[in-house]
Every structure is written in structure tokens, then in C-alpha cells.
Amino acid sequence: MNDVLSPLEQALNENGRAVLAAPPGAGKTTLVPLHLLQCGLAGAGRIIMLEPRRLAARAAAFRMASLLGEKPGETIGYRMRLDTRVSAKTRIEVVTEGVFARMALDDPELSGIAVVIFDEFHERSLDADFGLALALDIRDGLREDLKLLVMSATLDTAKVASLLDDAPVIESAGRAYPVEHRYQPRPPRSRIEDDVVAATLAMLDSEEGSILVFLPGQAEIRRTAERLAATLDETVSIAPLYGNLSRAEQDAAIAPAPEGRRKVVLATAIAETSITIDGVRIVIDSGLQRLPVFEPATGITRLETVKVSRAAADQRAGRAGRTAPGIALRLWHEGQTAALPAFSPPEILSSDLSGLALDLAHWGVTDPAQLSFADQPPGPAYVEATKLLGALGALDAAGRLTETGELMRAIPLPPRLAAMVINAAEAGNAFEAAELAVLLSEQGLGGNSLDLSERLRRFRHEKTPRAEAARGLAGRIAKTTGGGRSGEPFDPGAALIHAFPDRIAMARGGRGRYLMANGRGAELAEDDPLAAHDFLVIADLTGAAARGRILAACPVSRETILKARADAIVTREECRFDRQSLSVRTRSVTRLDALVLAERPGSKPAGEKAAEALAEGLRTHGLELLTLPKDAAHLVERIGFLHRKLGAPWPDVSQEGLLQSLDIWFTPFQGNVAALSAISPKSLTQGLQALLPYPLATDLDRLAPTHFTAPTGDRVPIRYDGDEPVLSIRVQMLYGLKSHPKIAGSVPLLLELTSPAGRPIQTTRDLAGFWAGSWKDVRADMRGCYPKHVWPEDPANAEATRRAKPRGT
């Protein structure tokens, strides 16, 4: 790392921007900020360094402070949501990425800050992307002297350098120890914890040193720890490491193992970057990670278990070579590495953007494209975010921040929870609501009950430093709203309605099964105490849209819902198709969005609503419920033929096409009909004819005639029920016809030529060729079978007939 410190200093002095790429273990997190401070680059100002996680921020601050022989809070400090150690003499502040964004929004000039360092930028969190966009905007508009440095071990340097106006890229070879990569593919359908335990035990037997195991989530860590604890003796310590643990538990996980002991650290991606776990020289990588995926349509973030990126795999392997030569055991086939995605997807592409939209409105930006994002926020998700903020009263119709929005932004909570606290403050329950909000935004507090009321009760009695800090934060949030405690009873369920009105849930179809106001299903175990309640407000869930798994909720009464959502509850008469009777039924329904709170039989169905309900029944159950009359079915076949051969503007009358156009050919022609059995066949034919506006209607008979006029003068029907039009006709009726009959300008009819008895004798698409060719053999057969009929040698020049020869000839 020492070889790049001087070039880095020069680049920042000359350009004010730089990108540093250095491998894991190179020491960039601790050496770079200290060097920039000691060389005087910051002048009298401070250096701010962003870290993606609290654990990394705290570890970096402690490490730098120890190198100076100090404690955090002196020259080196750190700042995060529930833990801050800074003083007047602090020159380097290590902050979490969300803290920096708030610093910039509150002080657009970043007064007193000389250098901003974005460490481990490859993780591409939403806060990091937003923080860099803000810093670039501040530098361009207000602070040309502000120096920006982006650092990472694995990074698309060209893309970031371009974002920083072609900033110089400096690369370090690093000082990490060599790491041997080994591969051990997992058996199909095996459980990840079983494979990890087997690999861990084998490594403990064959290698020296402590082990760092990467698992996708907390559940897998817990199950793996249970299995290892049942096998290992007291010489090996098992240390979980994930975000929900207390600071003391996290610090214990990264501390060196006691003398004479080894350690197995079971970690999520939290251990990928910016921390060194002394004594670890073996990494076991499951190759999996859990990423949040936001669904704008439902406002719900679910977690997906996916394969890691190559960049993340390299970061994980690098943990084995921080303090000595190491081994990285990857639980997949070596050939699969090249198929891994290069980088993990940026969080901005799959996140709830409501907080970002609120901050941008405060910044005076209504279109995110006005800022330089490494990846622009997706349009649909951003639109949904602004809609939510409008519903919460944070934005006006023009997208500008309202007074409520300003207050929401001043509260260090997601917009939904901020709105909840503001509403509760009006009733004097600001502190209680703030406690509930902090509980929801700081996982692990108050135990693991799904019932937030129970977790809130336990949280209030917790004496841990983290719980004390969380209650302190709740107090500051309450003070921001101008509220406090009223002494009045606090109903957590009623409060949550104002944060999650779309997730009010009503029991349906079995114990533990619920339907939410947004139309999505949710479930919990039948034996969970919450399952006894008819109504819940769900604050957190995961899983598929139809059957989400509830992670946190509160019971709420029907009366509370009726009062809190009175403006959204409507009673109206609804028509609905009944599959069993194939008819429309009406009912008077009291609804809260997708929830039916009450219903009773309605009046007799009639009119447009009845027709629309019938159409909806066909869309849901298929056109098979509808029997078209023969002339209507033939009309559909003829139009379908022209659509296939000529395309637009001839309409699509396939099953799917007809379902999509029900509002054109079906609904307007059904009048007061309320059952499929009462539909007039004539109305269906008239409706289908409506699909053909002028001049198509006049062209139909010309291009796809219903009949063919034979040389005898007979009109013979043409079939359109297959891939091509078919004419089934007695061969004698075509005598004298020299050219093959065609329709639609150039499409030949498929002729099914029959005997006088109507039995098929030949099919052809070339009548002239048939006359000149195989007719001779057909004629010989037919003369023997039907001697009373005319079988000329030259049918092309014979007279057409449908009769036998006159008697006596």
C-alpha cells in the first residue's frame, strides 16, 4: 500500500478526485485516511470515511486509533445511528453511509469537511450511491475544493472513474498473503448447514488456524452452530456474526481466539469487507448470499437467496490471507466460478426508493436524473415511491416537500415509520410510537416474537447498552416531533395502521391465513398466538406474493380499523360472476381496498354492470363457458383466417384475442342479460361483426366468402376451421374449370374432391395439374364404381354436372 500513497496524494491534490483499487488485506481502510491526514491534504478540515456496515466502521476507527496510541473519540472518531464517538479534536470520522447522506442533506456545503472517502464502494448500497451523487453535486455547485476518493478491492473502476469526471485510477498490488483456492462441490439437494459442518470438521482435522464460514443468513448460522456445538469440544469456540447481534457479540466474534483455542466464525456477508479477524487462515464459502428484492406494486421487500458474485467470492477468499497464508474452500465446482455474475446488483435497482425520493425532494430535485448516480433509480419503483409519499402527506401534487414531509425527513426513520410517529404525536404518544419504530428498524431488539406488542413490552425492560441507546434514539425522535408521553394507553396496532395501511390483514380460509388490503396473501403458523386474531397490521413479511410469511405484526380491532381508515372504506353494490350457476350475483359490499369487511345480498343484477361481470367471468374462466352459434363461429373462423394471412387491421379472434376485446364485441351487446344461458345467439353474431369496422366489413365477403359458386351454379360452403380454407365438393361439379379456385387474392382453396356418394377421392391445391395428371387413374376407378355417372377423359373441357347420365345413354 505504501507504494500508492504518494501517487494518491498527488492525484487528489491535482484533480480533487481519485479512484483507488486495492485487493483485500492491502490496508487501504486504515492506512489511506491516516496518510491523507498526516500529509496535510485535509488542511484544517476533517476527513470523512464511509463504511457500508456499522461493524466495519467501528473496527476501522478502533484500528486507526490504536495505531496512533489513542482511543476512538480523539483524533479518530466514528458516527453511526446508535453509537457515536467524536470530539472537538476528531479529524477523521468513520461513518456509516446513511449517516453521511444525512450530513450532506443537513449541511449542503459540508462545512469543515475537506475529504470524503467512499470505502468498499463495490457493495453499491443505496446510501453509498446517493451519498456519492450528493458529494458530486456539492463539489460541482458549492465546494470545488472538496476532495473525493472512491476505494474498493473489487470494483468496475472505469465506470466509477467516468462518473467522477475521468478521475485518475490508482491501483495497488497490496500486501495480502497468498491464498490457496480449493473447491468442494455440494451434493444435489443437500442442506447447506450439513455441507458446511462436514467441511468445517474436515478443515479442523487437517489444517491449523481459525475458520471463517460464510453463510447466507441468520437461520443457516443458527442451525450450523447447533450442529457444530454438538460435535466440537471446548478447544474450539463457535462465534456467530451477523447484523442483529449486539456490539459486544460482534466484537467478540472478531476478537482473537483465546490462547490455545481455535475459533469458528459463522458469518453473513457482514464479514466480507473492512474487518480482520485475527487468527483466521481458512475461509469456507457456501457461495450463497441473501439479497433484498423490493416489489413496487405491493410495497414489500422480500429476501432472495442467490449465488454470490465473483467480486464477493474474491472478497471472501481474501479474508483468509489477511494475517498469514491461507486457504479458501469454495463449496461449488471450480468451473462454476466463471458463470457467477461479476458484481452483486446495485441496491438502488431493487430497493424501496421512498426514503431516497423524500431526500431528493428536500434537495430540490424531482427527477433523479438531475444527479449523477452510478445507476439511475428504476422509473417504476421511483414513481411508486412518490405515490406513497403523496399518500403519507410528504409531497404535494407537484412533488414538492410539504411541512409534514420536512418533519418526516428530519426524523431518522424510513418514511412509513416517520409518518406513524408524527401521527401518534398528535395523540400524545410520540415516544411510544418512536419506540415501536426503532424496534422495527433495529432488528434483534425485544426478542424474536412475531407479535410486536410482545416485543415492545420486552424491549422496554431490556438493560443492554444497545437497548438503552435505542430508547435514547426514540426519545430524540419524539422530541423532534414536538411530542412526548401523554400517559394515555398506546395501541401499537392502531399506530401501525398509519405506517402500513396497505398491510391491514383480515383472517381468511383457515387459521393463520390472512389477506392484506393490498390484495396479497400472508401466513403464520397455526399455533402462533397471533393466529387467534381476526385482524392484524403486518409490518414485515417475506416470500411469494400469494403466501407471504409474516415476520412481524400487531393485532388490531375491527373498530380501530373502521375509525382510522374511515375515509378509505366504501360501501357499494358489486356484480360478480358465479361460476357454479354461470350467472351474475349482486351484493352490497363494504370494502377497505381488497378486504371485504361486510356484505349482504344486493338488488337484481341488470344493465352494464351485469354485462361487465359476465365478461369478467369469461376472462377468469375462459371462453369455453360460452357456446357460439354456428354462424358466429363461422364468422370467427373467417376473420381468423384473414388475420393469419393478411395481419392487421384484421383483428385477432383467437381465444386470447377475443378475451382481450370483450369490451368491444361482448359487453355492449348484452343489455340486461345476467346469465350466460340468457344470451341471445343473434347478439353474439352482431357483437363479433362489430369487430369489423368499415371498410373491413365490406371486404370480408370478397376476401373470405362463405361459399364457392361451382360451375354448376351451386353454392358450396367453404370451411375455415383449419390452417387453410377447405372446399369439399363433388368432383363432377368442377368439370369445365381450368384454373384452381382462390380466395383473398392469392390463397388457393384446399379441394377435397368427393365421389357422387360424398366419399373423398382426392385432395389438391392444383386442380389443373390434377386434371392433367392423376385424373386418369381416378377416372378408371370411378367408372367402375359409378357407371351411371359421367367420367370424361378431358374434365377441364367437359360440362359440370351433379347428376347421373340420363337413362338410356
- Residues 520-570 have pLDDT tens digits of 999 999 999 999 999 999 998 887 666 788 999 999 999 999 999 999 999
Task: State how far the Cα of 416 lies from the Cα of 500, in Å rounded to an integer.
Answer: 7
Is residue 440 predicted with pLDDT exceeding 70?
A: yes
Comparing 191-200, 223-232, 247-256, the range with the smallest average pLDDT is 247-256
User: Mind spelling out the 3-state secondary structure of 662-706?
Assistant: HHHHCHHHCCCCCEHHHCCHHHHHHHHHCCCCCCHHHHHHHHCCC
Q: pLDDT, tens digit, for every residue of 456-476?
A: 999 999 988 889 989 999 999
The predicted pLDDT at position 326 comes to: 92
CATH code of domain 179-348: 3.40.50.300
pLDDT at 523: 93
Q: Which has the minimum average pLDDT: 143-147, 170-174, 366-370, 408-412?
A: 170-174
Q: What is the C-alpha to C-alpha distance for residues 180 and 170, in angstroms, rounded to an integer?
A: 27
pLDDT in tens, 46-79: 999 999 888 889 989 999 999 999 999 999 999 9
- Mean pLDDT, residues 250-261: 85
Lowest-confidence region among 162-166, 303-307, 486-490: 486-490
Residue 154 has pLDDT above 80, yes or no: no
Mean pLDDT, range 293-315, rounded to an integer? 81
β-sheet bridge partners, residue 50 = 95, 118
Percent of the chain with pLDDT over 90: 69
Rounded CA gap, 265 and 269, in Å?
12
Query: What is the rounded CA–CA span in Å between residue 42 and residue 783?
Result: 110
Q: What is the pLDDT of residue 274?
A: 62
**What is the C-alpha to C-alpha distance for residues 360 and 783, in angstroms, rounded to an integer?**
91
Q: How big is the chain, counted in residues?
A: 809
Q: How far is CA 776 from CA 150, 489, 727, in A?
A: 88, 102, 22
Instruction: Check whether 1 has a pLDDT greater than 70.
Output: no
Domain residue ranges in the chain: 2-171, 179-348, 411-564, 576-693, 707-797
Lowest mean pLDDT segment, chosen from 249-263, 685-699, 718-732, 741-755: 249-263
- What value does the mean pLDDT of the chain take? 90
Chain segment 10-51, per-residue pLDDT in tens: 999 999 999 998 876 677 889 999 999 999 999 999 999 999
Least confident of 128-142, 254-268, 738-752, 786-800: 254-268
pTM of the model: 0.74
Superfamily per CATH, domain 2-171: P-loop containing nucleotide triphosphate hydrolases (3.40.50.300)
